[in-house]
């Protein structure tokens, strides 16, 4: 009977199903849905019909009903992917990326649906199979790090890994401390395909030397419980008659971190007059409790096990009031690690000034006390160990401390007399912590005492990274209590951060580390304006590296600033050094670095006072010195030898330069009397050589400095891409393209005049810039295509291949010293046009290809348009363009 019933049902619904399918095919969605619903009333187990119903409802815009239909189908056939797949498509189209991903994943997991896997990989910006993609992500992704680095995700309560996979990587969020997407894209942009997840590229290529961040890919310190024999080598640190202060180490759980912290407190003691009190707040880790009891019985430290759990604040107060013998105390977290010399230096600050209430050392992870970056968890490894960092701090910042509105409780000295006057930690307002040490500091300030940051001590602090809802609630409660008691606390901290009194101390630590790493390196002095000079410096650094010489960069900028960097060491505090107040620091650093070679590339961006001061200080150093000609800044503050009214009037004389100095030139950062400038550079050139990348610039420089030792050293260039000659499109238009960053000296004014002339006279010349200009808006209105800045030669070639220019125009109106953009032009094989000036004309002659125009055309846009039009018309035939290497007076007739 059941079989007959099923047959009858099938035969009864067949006509309905045919009508439904016909309505579906005719896009009569409402009718099709109505008929499918009737079919399903007769037999609700038909998975395919539920899916068709879902399609119809989706097309009708009834997303909720469509989703219900797809879900029903998936529940009927969970091992089939079709329903999940269609649901995923619908949800993603509607903007529900999360739901789309989850259902594509279910489709893939159901039966290995290859289309679902393809969609998953596309959503993740991956060219690899989905399982491989996830495996690669999980090599680097850290839930703990992601939540720490992205506080909004922590409070949102979403799945952090899933958030990163779907959204975080597109928002350039760091998946862990070891991978910085901003850094990676800056460093390796030319290797990344558009839409690709940078993390995947990193995982595939890190074995080839690709770096995930500017610092390191290893943790600086990992806590590990010592072996038994290591404990046996320690001396006791128990309370006695000679004890100067008691180090209180409250413990609760964390086996490796706690025992490592105890060990470091003991091993770092030496002859220091402190005892160690380990107070166990009735912790739940029996293994830890047993080991602490054993070590306490061994007599290595004073040990106290509480019978009940008091909480952190009450435990500290119990130790301070009842177990410390009325002495000064240092609260040391069980995830903080001290090193030899730490206590002696801290207590010395207290002994210097009886008004000091609290002292906190520098640490990798201690907000305003953090180093190398302030207010960061600096857990990635520097080139030295934390113990070595403490030694460097003791040496470089000996006796240095700064006042602060608050200390940080990870390693926190408290003077006993102050405790007796104002009370210990507040257990009422801060029942579970999160603000109790800040409150003590504020009460100390209100009582007329000081809080110090000891810049000559470095302590490593792991820091708790837990984002449970209870911790968030406790933290918020603690902060609210702090604000109720001290409404001015936020403003004090804000002003402290703005003033940053510890900045010099951090700079000093970076300076000491840099000297240790780069003493005797080759010093390259340059500006931070970018351009071809950066290519030169990169190539020169690689050349020196092959010779076994390290290179050190000193960039000058913003009128009075200087920044240092070196590839092998992370020194973020040696940037933006203000020479108005820190000139002595800069000069001492240069002297201590004792560079073996000094290459002065440019002081552009400095005022003359600092330009000349640095030039003189470098001259006094005993090093091989070279002035590299990238412009004519040694001759005049008009670096391109262009008159202040932006006219190139030929090579100026000293009389011309004196007259120019009386004119206004708002672009000049270091104007001065040309005779004063020449005297300064003549003094530098007494024992310095000059390198010129071209004969033309060498001849110009020799005109002003006839005694200079000048060598012509062309820039060596390496190319990742060797393109074919670009094809021309014979459509009646002449395409003229410029390359690079086009300012007035590079011909932006000429370009605007040419574009307007072409439009007004209907010349049929299309202009474009592969790069950008100083006048993009006006040029765009004149129908000039501006592609935007490129970061690699390869990117420039891609744009040139797209544009397919007939001519490449280098309209520089000054005698260039080399011209890197001309190198790109010559590599393409496209006929290149320049004015008969400087290195650009010399290089065209040497290459035996291209066209050289009379500089008189610079000030005659219509004649220049006619010349370019004539050149373009010679390219109508497929044969290569003729070389125009005649003297400038002849080429002007083009």
| Phi/psi of residue 112, nearest 5 degrees | 70, 25
Query: Quick one: average pLDDT of 301-316?
Result: 95
What's the confidence (pLDDT) of residue 473? 72
Query: Is the pLDDT at 2 greater than 60, yes or no?
Result: no
What's the confidence (pLDDT) of residue 148? 87
Topology of 235-487 in CATH?
A: Spore Coat Polysaccharide Biosynthesis Protein SpsA; Chain A (3.90.550)
What's the confidence (pLDDT) of residue 725? 62
What's the confidence (pLDDT) of residue 665? 85
Query: Quick one: average pLDDT of 598-624?
Result: 96
Domain 519-712: give its CATH architecture: 3-Layer(aba) Sandwich (3.40)
Structure tokens that stand for 677 in this block: 């400038």
Query: Quick one: average pLDDT of 228-255?
Result: 96
Return mean pLDDT, the chain: 92
Query: Is the pLDDT at 6 greater than 90, yes or no?
Result: no
What's the confidence (pLDDT) of residue 469? 47
CA distance 309 to 252: 9
Determine which of 98-107, 500-509, 723-732, 813-822 has the lowest per-residue pLDDT on average.
Answer: 723-732
What's the confidence (pLDDT) of residue 470? 54
How would residue 100 be classed by pLDDT, with cut points 50, 70 and 90?
A: very high
C-alpha torsion sign, points 139, 140, 142, 146: negative
The residue extents of the domains of the chain are 130-207, 235-487, 519-712, 734-891
* Under 8 Å between Cβ of 564 and 599: no
Query: Quick one: average pLDDT of 542-567?
Result: 96
* Under 8 Å between Cβ of 813 and 750: yes
Q: What is the largest CA-CA distance in the chain?
A: 117
Query: Is the pLDDT at 339 greater than 50, yes or no?
Result: yes
What's the confidence (pLDDT) of residue 186? 87
What's the confidence (pLDDT) of residue 880? 39
CA distance 851 to 867: 10
Question: Coil, strand, or helix at residue 44?
Answer: coil
Comparing 519-712 with 734-891, is the CATH topology the same? yes
What's the confidence (pLDDT) of residue 721? 58
Place of tokens 């001259």: 619
Query: Is the pLDDT at 884 greater than 70, yes or no?
Result: no
Query: Quick one: average pLDDT of 478-490?
Result: 94
Topology of 734-891 in CATH?
A: Rossmann fold (3.40.50)
pTM of the model: 0.86
How would residue 478 be classed by pLDDT, with cut points 50, 70 and 90?
A: confident
* Under 8 Å between Cβ of 430 and 478: yes
Q: Which residue has better confidence, 646 or 453? A: 453
CA distance 488 to 200: 47
How would residue 176 be classed by pLDDT, with cut points 50, 70 and 90?
A: very high
Query: Quick one: average pLDDT of 210-238?
Result: 94
Query: Is the pLDDT at 291 greater than 50, yes or no?
Result: yes
């Amino acid at each position: 009977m059941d079989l007959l019933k099923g047959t009858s049902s099938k035969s009864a619904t067949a006509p309905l199903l045919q009508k439904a399918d016909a309505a579906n095919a005719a896009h009569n969605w409402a009718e099709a849905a109505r008929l499918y619903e009737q079919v399903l009333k007769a037999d609700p187990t038909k998975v395919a019909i539920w899916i068709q119903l879902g399609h119809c409802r989706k097309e009708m815009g009834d997303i909720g009903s469509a989703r219900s239909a797809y879900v029903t189908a998936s529940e009927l056939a969970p091992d089939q992917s079709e329903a999940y797949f269609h649901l995923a498509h619908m949800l993603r189209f509607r903007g529900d990326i999360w739901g789309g991903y989850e259902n594509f994943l279910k489709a893939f997991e159901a039966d290995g649906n290859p289309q679902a896997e393809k969609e998953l990989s596309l959503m993740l910006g991956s060219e690899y199979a989905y399982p491989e993609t996830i495996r690669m992500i999980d090599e680097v992704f850290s839930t703990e790090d992601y939540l720490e680095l992205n506080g909004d995700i922590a409070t949102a309560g979403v799945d952090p890994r899933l958030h990163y996979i779907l959204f975080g990587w597109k928002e350039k969020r760091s998946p862990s401390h070891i991978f910085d997407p901003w850094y990676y894209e800056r460093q390796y942009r030319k290797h990344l395909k558009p839409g690709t997840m940078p993390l995947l590229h990193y995982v595939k290529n890190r074995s080839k030397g690709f770096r995930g961040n500017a610092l390191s890919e290893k943790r600086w310190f990992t806590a590990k419980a010592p072996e038994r024999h290591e404990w046996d080598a320690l001396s006791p640190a128990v309370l006695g008659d000679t004890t100067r202060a008691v180090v209180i180490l409250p413990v609760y759980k964390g086996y490796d971190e706690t025992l490592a912290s105890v060990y470091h407190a003991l091993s770092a003691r030496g002859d220091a007059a402190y005892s160690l009190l380990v107070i166990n707040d009735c912790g739940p880790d029996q293994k830890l409790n047993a080991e602490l009891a054993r070590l306490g019985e061994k007599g290595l430290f004073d040990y106290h096990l509480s019978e009940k759990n008091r909480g952190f604040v009450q435990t500290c107060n119990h130790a301070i009031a009842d177990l410390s013998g009325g002495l000064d105390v240092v609260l040391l977290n069980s995830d903080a690690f001290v090193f030899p010399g730490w206590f002696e230096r801290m207590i010395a600050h207290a002994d210097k000034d009886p008004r000091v209430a609290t002292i906190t050392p520098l640490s990798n992870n201690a907000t305003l006390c953090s180093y190398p970056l302030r207010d960061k968890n600096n857990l990635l490894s520097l080139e030295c160990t934390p113990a070595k960092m403490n030694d460097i701090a003791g040496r470089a910042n000996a006796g240095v401390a700064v006042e602060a509105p608050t200390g940080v409780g990870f390693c926190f000295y408290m003077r006993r007399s102050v405790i007796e006057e104002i009370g210990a930690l507040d257990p009422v307002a801060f029942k579970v912590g999160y603000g109790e040490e800040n409150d003590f500091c504020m009460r100390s300030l209100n009582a007329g005492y000081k809080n110090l940051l000891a810049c000559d001590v470095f302590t490593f602090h792991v820091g708790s990274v837990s984002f449970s809802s209870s911790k968030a609630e406790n933290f918020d409660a603690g902060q609210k209590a702090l604000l109720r008691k001290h409404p001015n606390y936020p403003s004090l901290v804000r002003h402290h951060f703005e003033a940053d009194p510890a900045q010099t101390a951090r700079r000093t630590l970076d300076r000491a580390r840099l000297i240790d790493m780069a003493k005797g390196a080759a010093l390259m002095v340059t500006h931070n304006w970018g351009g071809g000079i950066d290519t030169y410096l990169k190539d020169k650094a690689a050349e020196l590296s092959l010779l076994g010489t390290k290179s050190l960069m000193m960039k000058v900028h913003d009128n009075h600033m200087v920044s240092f960097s070196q590839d092998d060491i992370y020194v973020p505090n040696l940037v933006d050094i203000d020479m108005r107040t820190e000139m002595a620091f800069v000069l001492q650093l240069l002297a201590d670095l004792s560079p073996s070679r000094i290459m002065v590339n440019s002081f552009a961006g400095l005022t003359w006072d600092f330009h000349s001061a640095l030039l003189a200080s470098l001259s006094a150093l005993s090093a091989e010195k070279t002035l590299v000609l990238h412009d004519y800044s040694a001759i005049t503050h008009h670096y391109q030898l262009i008159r202040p009214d932006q006219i190139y009037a030929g090579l100026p004389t000293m009389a011309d330069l004196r007259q120019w100095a009386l004119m206004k030139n708002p672009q000049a950062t270091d104007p001065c009397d040309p005779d004063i400038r020449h005297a300064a550079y003549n003094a530098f050139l007494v024992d310095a050589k000059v390198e010129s990348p071209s004969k033309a610039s060498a001849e110009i420089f020799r005109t002003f400095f006839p005694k200079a030792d000048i060598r012509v050293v062309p820039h060596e260039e390496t190319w990742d891409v060797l393109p074919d000659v670009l094809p021309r499109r014979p459509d009646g238009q002449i395409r003229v393209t410029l390359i690079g960053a086009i300012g007035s000296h590079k011909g932006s004014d000429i370009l605007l005049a040419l574009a307007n002339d072409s439009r007004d006279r209907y010349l049929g010349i299309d202009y474009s810039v592969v790069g950008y200009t100083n006048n993009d808006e006006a040029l765009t209105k004149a129908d000039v295509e501006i592609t935007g800045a490129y970061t690699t030669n390869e990117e420039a070639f891609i744009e040139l291949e797209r544009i397919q220019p007939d001519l490449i125009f280098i309209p520089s109106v000054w005698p260039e010293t080399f011209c890197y953009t001309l190198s790109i032009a010559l590599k393409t094989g496209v006929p290149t046009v320049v004015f008969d000036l400087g290195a650009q004309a010399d290089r065209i002659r040497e290459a035996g290809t291209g066209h050289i125009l009379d500089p008189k055309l610079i000030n005659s846009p219509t004649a220049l348009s006619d010349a370019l039009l004539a050149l373009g018309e010679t390219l109508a035939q497929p044969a290569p363009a003729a070389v125009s290497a005649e003297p400038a007076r002849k080429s002007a007739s083009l």
